């Protein structure tokens, strides 16, 4: 991206970033034998969502409880 962007270009970039952060860009790919549903997100949004899923997951456990050994 050029070092000096026009106000319109900056506005468009901000709009695109907001779209990617909120819902992402969704599209489908169809071939003769398969169909895929795809979503493009920005990396930061994806990592935040994955972290939220890990911390609220029922499979995640407290590390002290899972590593305790009775003596």
Averaged pLDDT for residues 21-33: 90
Place of tokens 């997951």: 57
Q: Which residues of 40-70 are buried (b: 16+ CB within 10 A; e: fewer)?
A: ebeeeeeeeeeeeeeeeeeeeeeeeeeeeee
Q: Average pLDDT over the chain, rounded to whole?
A: 79
Cβ contacts of 39 within 8 Å, gap of 6 or more: 24, 25, 26
* pLDDT beyond 70 at 32: yes
* pLDDT beyond 50 at 67: no
Averaged pLDDT for residues 36-52: 88
Least confident of 5-9, 36-40, 67-71: 67-71
**What pLDDT, on a 0 to 100 scale, did the predictor assign at position 60?**
53
**What pLDDT, on a 0 to 100 scale, did the predictor assign at position 62?**
53
């Amino acid at each position: 991206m050029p070092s000096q962007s026009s106000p319109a270009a900056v506005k468009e970039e901000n709009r695109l970033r907001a779209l990617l952060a909120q819902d992402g860009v969704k599209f489908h790919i169809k071939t003769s034998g398969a169909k895929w549903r795809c979503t493009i997100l920005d990396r930061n949004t994806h990592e935040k969502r994955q972290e939220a899923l890990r911390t609220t997951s029922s499979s995640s456990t407290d590390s002290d409880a899972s590593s305790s050994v009775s003596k």
